[in-house]
Structure 1
Amino acid sequence: MPCQLCHRSVAELTEHHLVPRQYTRRRKLPISDTVLLCRPCHKQIHTLFDNHTLARQFNTLERLQAEPRLQKFVAWVSKQQPDKRVKSYR
Structure 2
Amino acid sequence: MQCQLCERDCNQTTIHHLVPRQYTKRKKLDPGETIDICSACHRQIHSLFANRLLATELNTLEKLKQQPDMVRFLTWIRKQDTNKRVKVR
- TM-score class, shorter-chain normalisation, is over 0.9
Q: Show the counterpart of 1:62.
A: 62
SS of the equivalent of 1:79 reads coil
Structure 1 segments, 4+ long, off by >6 Å, are none
SS of the equivalent of 2:24 reads helix
Answer yes or no: is 1:86 the counterpart of 2:86.
yes
- Give, as a single letter, the amino acid of the residue that structure 2 aligns with 1:61: L
Query: How many positions carry a matched residue from both structures?
Result: 89
**For residues 6-85 of structure 1, what are the structure 2 equivalents within 5 Å?**
6-85=6-85
The percentage of counterpart residues that share the same residue type is 51
Q: Where does structure 1 lack aligned partners over 5 or more consecutive residues? A: none
- Displacement of 1:27 in angstroms is 3.0
Q: Distance in 2 between matches of 1:80 and 1:88?
A: 13
Q: Distance in 2 between matches of 1:18 and 1:7?
A: 17
SS of the equivalent of 1:16 reads strand
Q: Where does structure 2 lack aligned partners over 5 or more consecutive residues? A: none
- Displacement of 1:47 in angstroms is 0.3
Q: Distance in 2 between matches of 1:3 and 1:42?
A: 10
Q: Distance in 1 between matches of 2:36 and 2:78?
A: 15
